[in-house]
Amino acid sequence: MPILPPAMVTAMQGHWSGVGWIGVDMAVMANAIGTGAGTGMIGATFTTLDTGSGPTPGAGVGVGITIVEATLSAALLAGMLLEFPPGGADLPDLCDGIAKGVKAGLDTASLTSTHPLCFLGVGLVNVASGGFVFVGSGITSGIQGLAPTFLGDSWPAICSVVGTEIENAGKIAIGQTTITAPPPPPATPIACPPGTSGTGVVA
């Protein structure tokens, strides 16, 4: 199952409704952030560190990108406070809702990967190589364009913080693929040497 932007929208709306936010603007904001962020994360790339058997190629599949919801919310809040000092009572709820929606989307992300020198094993997403490469600027513009009726300086600033912190979250997110290959295996399998890697994409 891929990232599902509607599920992200629903998670955000559910959180904000639960803290008493109502009205058309809340729904528009949830749709813009959930849809813009969700579609913006689809297509992100990653590099793996492979363990298993080679030296023939294999393909990997996986489900889910793991982030810590509270960590993303805290990062969003810190970014928002820089834009809107000294903040306000609603700002933590805004950030909590966004983080909840992003996590809902990443939980169902589909990962596919290719591994030139590993036909059987596991590909761990390599944080040292940048983790999941979410493009913050693209996420920002995608969100902003989905709420054209939101005027003024605050909306572009909110979008920018969201895009930046999703990009940052991707750099430390956890994920893996399970590597397999069609039979037959190589005549003489060998253990993948340290540093064996693959590349992949998020759907």
Q: What is the pLDDT of residues 131-162, one digit of tens each?
A: 999 999 999 999 999 999 998 889 999 999 99
State the pLDDT confidence band at 44, using cuts at 50, 70 and 90. Answer: very high
pLDDT at 144: 97
Beta carbons of 199 and 114 less than 8 angstroms apart: yes
Classified as helix, coil or strand, 65 is coil
pLDDT, mean over the chain: 96
Number of domains in the chain: 1
Pairing verdict, β 45-54 and 190-191: antiparallel
Tokens (6 digits) for 7: 């599920």
Average of per-residue pLDDT across 116-130: 97
Domain for residue 196, yes or no? no
pLDDT at 126: 98
Average of per-residue pLDDT across 51-78: 97
Domain for residue 164, yes or no? yes
What's the first-to-final CA gap in the chain, in angstroms? 8
Q: Give the residue ranges of DSSP H helices in 152-198.
A: 154-172
Domain for residue 191, yes or no? no
State the pLDDT confidence band at 112, using cuts at 50, 70 and 90. Answer: very high
How far apart are the C-alpha atoms of 99 and 8, rounded to whole Å? 9
Residue 130 has pLDDT above 80, yes or no: yes
Collect all residues with Cβ–Cβ distance below 8 Å to 164 and sequence separation of at least 6. Answer: 79, 136, 140
Domain for residue 73, yes or no? yes
How far apart are the C-alpha atoms of 159 and 141, rounded to whole Å? 8
Collect all residues with Cβ–Cβ distance below 8 Å to 193 and sequence separation of at least 6. Answer: none
Q: What is the pLDDT of residues 178-190, one digit of tens each?
A: 999 887 878 889 9
Beta carbons of 177 and 52 less than 8 angstroms apart: no
Domain that includes residue 21, residue range? 5-182
Domain for residue 177, yes or no? yes
Domain for residue 192, yes or no? no
How far apart are the C-alpha atoms of 107 and 118, rounded to whole Å? 26
Domain for residue 133, yes or no? yes
Q: Give the residue ranges of DSSP H helices in 62-126.
A: 69-83, 91-107
